[in-house]
Amino acid sequence: MTPATYAVLNLEALQHNLACVRQAAPNAKVMAVIKANAYGHGLLRVAAKLPNVDAFAVARVDEAVRLRQAGFTQRIAVLEGFTCNEELQALLRYDIEAVIHCPEQLAILNTYSAEQTLSVWLKHDSGMNRLGFKTATVLAAYQQLMACKAVKKPLQLMTHLANADNRQDATTDKQIHLFNQTIAQFSGERSIANSAGILGWTEALSDWVRPGIMLYGVSPFAEQTAAQLGLKPVMSLHSQLIAVKDITIGESIGYSGRWVCEKTTRYGVVAIGYGDGYPRYAKTGTPVLVNGQRVPLIGRVSMDMITVDLGSQPHAKPGDPVILWGNGLAVEEIAAWSDTIPYTLLCGITQRVQIVEQAEVKG
């Protein structure tokens, strides 16, 4: 029995999108970012389809440990590093690398005494003002790490771009320049670019790149689609019509009666809602594909259902296929209609949505 609502993953597209990364950054090593359950696509499933990347990156220690326990032997870096002694022990035990971004981590490292060494990425805060040592303190952090017996040498060096998705923003050039200048005398491989950095800023490529969203076939830029960038979406979110009805002028649909019928029409109820991860804030007019044709969302998104105007499809019937995003309807477009970014939609797919892996299509 096929469930009413499911996400189809075209995992072959991961390799296609990885090829786009390599084309944009031919001389860089690739750290594939698979945090947050691989942006909702499944941590282990995605890692298995990216055997040829140089490293994986996740945000938290437990995500990295899950990869090791599942048998992955590639390099793995934890972007937030460790938060306590127990997490440091786990990193050492499983041979996982840590981003070091704050004095508290240095203090924990300095109390550590054993043979094993930890591979670290020293993070410079070049202007994002989230994680990392500021320019004035990063040299001291570097020296402490170099002197720390628990730390493998050479170190690796990292910063993160705040505005790389806006090609007109001068912040990115400033950040790249400040990072390069600040760490000029440090030894170790460097990493700057996320997806937007890779595709938008050649000066950001450096020794390592850290693609996330583009691996999943989604554009990091508001003004450029994934198709224009040559990326293929991995996830398509599917459902079906479960009721078709008619409505006349003056009647309303759904909670709070926000949508009021102005012209007699046929409409359909689709088995998807915010309980599946469809955005609660999608506005009336948000496109939905019914039988491959665009129709507008009408009324409020409920937990389990949405309603769509079928005025253009009077013959649509319960059971007809619906696509919410993916093939033929970019998740970027749905994000724009919901005043959010595609990242939140991909990450927000809930447990209830069954994942179906699309069989490889040859030729």
Ligand X SMILES: *Cc1c(COP(=O)(O)O)cnc(C)c1O
Cβ closest to ligand X, residue 132 vs residue 299:
132
Q: Do residues 316 and 305 make contact, with C-beta atoms less than 8 angstroms apart?
A: no
* HSE of 107, CA atoms in CB hemisphere, 13 A: 5
Cβ closest to ligand X, residue 135 vs residue 291:
135
Name the DSSP letter for residue 340.
S
For residue 277, the minimal CB distance to ligand X (Å) is 18
**Residues interacting with ligand X, by CB under 6 A?**
33, 35, 79, 160, 194-196, 210-213, 220
Cβ closest to ligand X, residue 24 vs residue 90:
24
Q: What is the CA radius of gyration of the chain?
A: 23
Task: Please give the angle made by the CA atoms of 286, 291 and 344, to the nearest 5 degrees.
Answer: 40
For residue 340, the minimal CB distance to ligand X (Å) is 15
For residue 196, the minimal CB distance to ligand X (Å) is 6
Residue nearest ligand X, CB atom distance: 212
Cβ closest to ligand X, residue 96 vs residue 241:
96
CA–CA separation, 288 and 329 (whole Å): 8
CB-count burial class (<10 Å; 0-12, 13-18, 19+) for 167: middle
Beta-bridged to residue 29, according to DSSP, are 208
CB-count burial class (<10 Å; 0-12, 13-18, 19+) for 278: buried
Name the DSSP letter for residue 352.
T
Cβ closest to ligand X, residue 35 vs residue 49:
35
For residue 35, the minimal CB distance to ligand X (Å) is 6
For residue 41, the minimal CB distance to ligand X (Å) is 12
- Provide the token pair at 273: 């809602």
- Please list the active-site residues: 35, 255
